Structure 1
């Protein structure tokens, strides 16, 4: 066991000493290797999207356990939870009117638990809420996402309002975790249950991103055509990749700490 731990320590030490560009390159290579592995292990790549939603629900369950057991919401961002509730509500509306399937049920379950977390933070555990640390102005992300949705949205046959709403929830989901990361940055201390939650979000985002990338590869690009024409298909992939990279740095340090 000791030689193995020594090897892991040597690798992590080497990575830590590398310049940012090398670290970024290693992250990209690791992500591509993980995609290749998933492509051969998971035969039905739609299961990756279901798994992503399931992991997100698991992360919410960790928060519920924290709130019920420790009776404190210290380290949690109410604004991140509110952004999550907003994009889930919009996505539920789009799902009901556009495609109603298993994802609708999973989103509904996640939405209900997210609303419960918001209720606990706002009313039951308000005394432990670090409002001064949760200082990320959400209109900095909501307004740009709304404007971007008006400009770039699906070109399908659905009603214009539904297409704009769909684009809005895709863009907002990509940046919804930013207030939580700001809280962690401001407090300088990452509470364990909060760390587990953010790591679950990171895993969920990677699985969702892998789902879209592998679907595009399997369809040889035809999936992008099915999503519509113009910039929208590319924006879907970019949104997934952006959120994955936002969480990648945290997940790296989370795993390194566990090791």
Structure 2
């Protein structure tokens, strides 16, 4: 494992910890898209099915369990915890996720590396992760009231994707047979979705003002 992969994993984990901190410390999920959280949970479930059939390393197994557990716990709090659920702004979280799920499923059936159920579900998870942040970004544009923890959560998610691009570049330069076009193209697309957010995040940080996205 190279430093970029490790840094990416730790940044991803930190983003989830920031979100859990927000929920537990404030007893609120205001500004958080439940749809995005459910899409990420679906990503992890489809991608980590091999946890039952293939052992790669203790680190790999632990990280998979952590991402699955934390993702499902966030959904539990947003759906069933009385105080947290009451703070969820459902009226602002109206992105139609079916417009993401169906194209990703069709694309996974058409373009994949191996026509097996596990491989198709893994490919579906790659496509879906590339666009799963869209309901969250749309919700932030609508609310126009982004607290620091929510802004930091999205920023860390975007940083994680950027670090993974560096990981792929490093592996391409050091591993002669490393080619993963589906992962690369999906990852670049996903990172591109954060560019506008990064711009306004750094403007807010530089001016020491609250983060606001243009409607």
The TM-score with structure 1 as length reference comes to 0.74
Q: Which of structures 1 and 2 has the bigger CA Rg?
A: 1
Give the unaligned 5+ runs of structure 2. Answer: 207-215
Aligned equivalents of 2:50, 2:194: Cα separation in 1: 26
Contact 1:63-1:193 at 8 Å conserved across structures: yes
Greater relative CO (CA pairs within 8 A, separation 6+): 2
Give the unaligned 5+ runs of structure 1. Answer: 1-43, 225-232
Q: Which residue of structure 2 lines up, in the alignment, with residue 122 of structure 1?
A: 79
Aligned equivalents of 2:161, 2:140: Cα separation in 1: 19
Q: Which residue of structure 1 lines up, in the alignment, with residue 210 of structure 2?
A: none
The TM-score with structure 2 as length reference comes to 0.88
Match of 2:101 among 129, 138, 142: 142
Aligned equivalents of 1:223, 1:96: Cα separation in 2: 25
CA drift of 1:91 comes to 1.4
CA drift of 1:129 comes to 0.6
In the TM superposition, what are the counterparts of 1:238-253 in structure 2 within 5 Å?
A: 238-253=185-200
Q: Which residue of structure 2 lines up, in the alignment, with residue 3 of structure 1?
A: none
In the TM superposition, what are the counterparts of 1:54-133 in structure 2 within 5 Å?
A: 54-98=10-54, 100-101=56-57, 102-124=59-81, 125-133=84-92
Contact 1:90-1:169 at 8 Å conserved across structures: yes
Superposition RMSD in Å: 1.6
| Stretches of 4+ aligned residues off by more than 2 angstroms | 94-104, 217-220
Q: Secondary structure at the match of 2:30?
A: coil
Q: Give the total of aligned pairs.
A: 203
**More deviation, 129-138/247-256:** 247-256
Q: Secondary structure at the match of 1:223?
A: coil
